[in-house]
């Protein structure tokens, strides 16, 4: 499929509902697997970790939207960014609530006591709080109320969220000395940051800058 055809497909009225359905599938599968007892010997841990994995995948995809949009000259990709951001918050909230439910039994005093004791829980909770701020200001009314410059400055916190999420994931996997997925996600994040830095440092009007 050439770029023009792909651009038309991305602008199709069914494109957004299709992307929405695709990103809802992991949640539907996890619910089915939990009901059908298909989550293995430790279903609570499997559920918590799977929700965390999908949070990180959605977050990295959000960060990749702009580089892909500019590099491949696909402006229609921008129309999916907000929806993907909502899915980041959706899966992150389910991930955090699964921890509160299965690990802490919804005993909030225990949750408050546990967070500062375990660094990976602390950084994960900080990432979720930042995501909450972004989700609460993701609507057009919030953009108008804050003003575009302040709104953009606030939403740059997505990079801090990504750092905290990767650190959270690293500490989660450190217990089992399994860093393969961590390395993949960290490499993707480094690629996004490298692209951003390259764009910022590229001379305005140069042949390199004009091509992207």
Sign, CA torsion 35/40/45/46: negative
Domain positions in the chain are: 3-211
Task: Note whether 192 and 63 are within 8 A (CB).
Answer: yes
pLDDT number for residue 44:
94
Percent of the chain's residues with pLDDT above 70: 95
Task: At 138, give phi and psi (nearest 5°).
Answer: -90, 0
Span 88-118, pLDDT tens digits:
999 999 999 999 999 999 999 999 999 999 9
Sign, CA torsion 149/66/209/12: negative
Over residues 22-44, mean pLDDT: 95
Sign, CA torsion 62/161/166/196: positive
Residue 204 — very low, low, confident or very high, per pLDDT cuts 50/70/90?
low
Asked whether the predicted pLDDT for residue 212 surpasses 60, the reply is no
Maximum CA pair distance of the chain?
59
Span 152-171, pLDDT tens digits:
999 999 999 999 999 999 99
Q: What does the radius of gyration of the chain's CA atoms come to, in whole angstroms?
A: 19
Q: What is the 3-state secondary structure (H, E, C) of the chain?
A: CCHHHHHHHHHCCCHHHHHHHHHHHHHHHHHHHHHCCCCCCCHHHHHHHHHHHHHHHHHHHHHHHHHHHHHCCCHHHHHHHHHHHHHHHHHHHHHHHHHHHHHCCCCHHHHHHHCCCCHHHHHHHHHHHHHHHHHHCCCHHHHHHHCHHHHHHHHCHHHHHHHHHHHHHHHHHHCCCCCHHHHHHHHHHHHHHHHHHHHHHCCCCCHHHHHC
pLDDT number for residue 1:
61
């Amino acid at each position: 499929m050439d770029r023009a055809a792909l651009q038309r497909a991305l602008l199709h009225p069914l494109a957004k509902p299709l992307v929405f359905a695709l990103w809802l599938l992991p949640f539907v599968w996890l619910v089915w697997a939990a009901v059908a007892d298909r989550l293995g010997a430790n279903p609570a841990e499997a559920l918590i970790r799977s929700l965390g994995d999908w949070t990180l995948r959605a977050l990295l995809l959000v960060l990749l939207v702009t580089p892909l949009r500019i590099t491949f000259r696909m402006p229609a990709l921008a129309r999916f960014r907000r929806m993907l951001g909502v899915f980041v918050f959706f899966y992150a909230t389910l991930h955090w609530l699964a921890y509160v439910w299965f690990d802490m039994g919804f005993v909030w005093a225990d949750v408050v006591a546990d967070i500062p004791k375990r660094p990976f829980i602390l950084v994960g909770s900080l990432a979720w709080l930042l995501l909450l701020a972004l989700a609460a200001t993701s609507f057009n009314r919030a953009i108008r109320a804050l003003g575009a410059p302040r709104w953009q400055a606030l939403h740059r916190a997505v990079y801090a969220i990504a750092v905290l999420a990767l650190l959270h994931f690293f500490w989660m996997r450190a217990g089992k000395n399994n860093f393969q997925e961590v390395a993949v996600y960290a490499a993707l994040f480094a690629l996004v940051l490298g692209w951003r830095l390259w764009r910022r440092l590229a001379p305005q009007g140069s042949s390199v800058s004009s091509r992207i």
